[in-house]
Structure 1
Amino acid sequence: MSNNKVRTYFENHGLGDRVMTFDESSATVELAAKAVGCKPQQIVKTLTFLVKDRPIMVVCAGNVRVDNPKFKDYFGQRGKMIAPDLVLGYTGHEVGGVCPFVVKDEVFVYLDQSLKESEILYLGAGDAHSLVKLSLKEVETHAKPKAWVDVCKAMA
């Protein structure tokens, strides 16, 4: 179970108390915000794509969506999301708990500028019933991003 790997990772970094487990699902922005009692933009979405056959993660605020022209400008191709049944194999995490921590070596992580709107963020922690609470700086430290990007826009 990838939640155990994520929990162990944060325990090893002195942040084990930041991993929260819920009886109810926290798999969507709405469910997670309700479970934590925060604003939707504080919930982080980790979206998985294939770019030139490489799995990537775009980590963004819960109140935005990928802007296809911006994505294409940055990555050189249209965004092709990884099918839900393949996400675990590519990333090591199941849909609903995908996070940019303890991912497979071939996965590149990109942090979207939308994250900078909130100082405290809640990210999936490996399964659909877990979240981890981190500061923006901690997200950057532990996600080990390849780059910061600007590929999202506000939801209509």
Structure 2
Amino acid sequence: MAKSKYPITPAVRFLRSKGIDFKPHTYAYSDRGGANQAAQALKVPANRVVKTLVMETDNRVLFLMLMHGDREVSTRQLARVIGRKKVIPAAPATAERCTGCRVGGISPFATRDRLPVYLEESILVLESVFINGGKRGFLVEIDPAVLTGPLDGVAVKAAAS
């Protein structure tokens, strides 16, 4: 049986270099499809697809926020949890510049600039999650513990009610 082909991105190289087990998944990407489109294509619940969002604080510090595909970030709650007055999504051009990936293909692994990572705490109770592998239409399935281990992610409660 032939191996399925998938892109060898900086994120894949990062996962391999750390000896992290992952399962690659590709799907037909479309603009504005988002996590729900990926979940439908892979036939998995949207809460198991994790979005990688580039956020910016009131003092212009960039960071990543990982959130369930079917949930939104409460920027007010997130700002409070990380000790800032305000948090907003970064402009797409800024997100692409600091990660080295196009919007829709941003992975928390191997970003161009080293960014702090926060993740919704309920992600950690899932058996596995599907997160962007560094290219549009490419997700990797991993153990969510990877997000706090090698990524040094900090679990927070910031999902909008």
| TM-score normalised per structure 1 | 0.84
Give the drift of 1:106: 3.9
Q: Taking structure 1 as reference, are residues 30 and 47 closer, same or farther at Cα in structure 2, changes over 3 Å only?
A: same
Name the one with the larger helix percent.
1
Unaligned runs of 5+ in 2: 1-6
* Aligned twin of 1:94: 102
Unaligned runs of 5+ in 1: none
The counterpart of 1:129, out of the listed 134, 137, 148, is 137
Correspondence 1:65 to 2:95: no
Give the drift of 1:105: 4.1
Q: Give the RMSD, CA atoms, in angstroms.
A: 2.2
Pick which of 39-48 and 104-113 moved more.
104-113
* Aligned twin of 1:140: 148
Q: Taking structure 1 as reference, are residues 16 and 104 closer, same or farther at Cα in structure 2, changes over 3 Å only?
A: same
| TM-score normalised per structure 2 | 0.82
Q: Taking structure 1 as reference, are residues 68 and 15 closer, same or farther at Cα in structure 2, changes over 3 Å only?
A: closer
List per-residue Cα deviations over 1:74-111 (Å, max 9, x = no partner): 23122221111221112222211112111234411111
Secondary structure of residue in 2 paired with 1:38: coil
* Aligned twin of 2:29: 25
Give the drift of 1:17: 5.5
Correspondence 1:43 to 2:49: yes
Q: Which amino acid aligns with 1:60?
A: M
Secondary structure of residue in 2 paired with 1:9: helix
Instruction: State how many pairs are aligned.
Output: 151
Structure 2 distance, partners of 1:132, 1:6, is 9
Whether the 8 Å CA contact 2:67–2:119 is kept in 1: the answer is yes
Correspondence 1:78 to 2:66: no
Whether the 8 Å CA contact 1:19–1:130 is kept in 2: the answer is yes
Structure 2 distance, partners of 1:144, 1:101, is 11
Give the fraction of aligned pairs with identical amino acids, expressed as a percent: 21
Give the drift of 1:116: 3.0
